[in-house]
Amino acid sequence: MLTDLFRLQLDMLGARAELAAGLLSKWLLDKNTPSGNGNQPVITMPGFMASDATLSRLNSYLNRNGFEAHGWGLGRNLGPQGSSWSEHLDRIGRSLGDKVKELNDAHGTAVALVGHSLGGVYARELAVQMEQEIDRVLMLGSPTFHPYLTRHHNRVVSMFGYWLSRQSQAELAGRGGILHWGPEHPAMPCIAIHSPIDGVADEASCVIPQYIVNQSGMRAPRENLRILTSHLGMCVNPWVLLTIADRLVEDRDNWGQFDPYDYFPESLSWAVSALFPRDDVSLDTSDPVALAEAG
């Protein structure tokens, strides 16, 4: 428990540093950001215990660069608070569904969802219900809740979640768990951004299982992007913001993999390799063999 408390404190310190880096690099970041077409609606969804205020810099960044970003408008994300996951998700779906449809009608195009942590879990689930109205889903440090692996998340955060909702993660997820999509359904891009220094969510649980990535195609691309960032700082981290913009402008019908080296001069390749480290997350959270070994 003390180790997880220390990890959480380090994550908070990292987030402050990333905020400072974002403020200092604002001009340079905007100069190198791929621009939206001015008619690209985006809804951002905050993490557990967070509100739209935590996503204000992300939304401002997207709005400055040719997107139309909106917060979810549902206040602080307090989680299920004693209700079942399906009941809670139905409430979120009813509230956000109307907003998705309004933006869809106003712009004549599907809406992109960008969710941080638990907000990304909501985005992932909502997209299954509204496949025609949602264009793509980007998840920032958004975990799955596998019944055998929930203990891998930060126990301080998990205990607070239990105190608030009176349910453990295993009880909330149920016997089937809350997992990533399959390789074909829903037929839209799904991008998982995860970090090796995430102090809240277990990185392995935030990664789309490799067999799903391998089986996915142009119709429903699945992509894992590993970035050096704290959990709490993902929404202000400048290289995460750049990655989000890049994935939002990518053509769904001609999907290409993200390449961070496109945005940096060759002389800074050493920095790119540090900020976007190789993805060596070996634990596949949907592989029974890996689960047995994780025991």
Judge whether 198 and 206 are in contact, CB under 8 Å. Answer: yes
Helix-, strand-, coil-residue percentages of the chain, each rounded to 5? 50, 10, 40
C-alpha dihedral over 277, 280, 281, 286, to 10 degrees?
Answer: 130
CATH code: domain of residue 90 = 3.40.50.1820
Rounded average pLDDT per 10-residue block, the chain, 295 residues:
76 94 92 89 94 96 96 89 76 89 93 96 92 96 75 57 54 68 94 94 91 93 97 96 97 94 91 88 46 38
pLDDT of residue 290: 44
Number of independent structural domains in the chain: 1
Question: How far, in Å, CA of 110 to CA of 100, rounded?
Answer: 8
Q: Which of 166, 107, 168 is nearest to 135 (CA)?
A: 107
- The verdict on pTM exceeding 0.75 is yes
Cis status, amide bond into 143, omega within 30 of 0: no
Domain that holds residue 17: 2-294
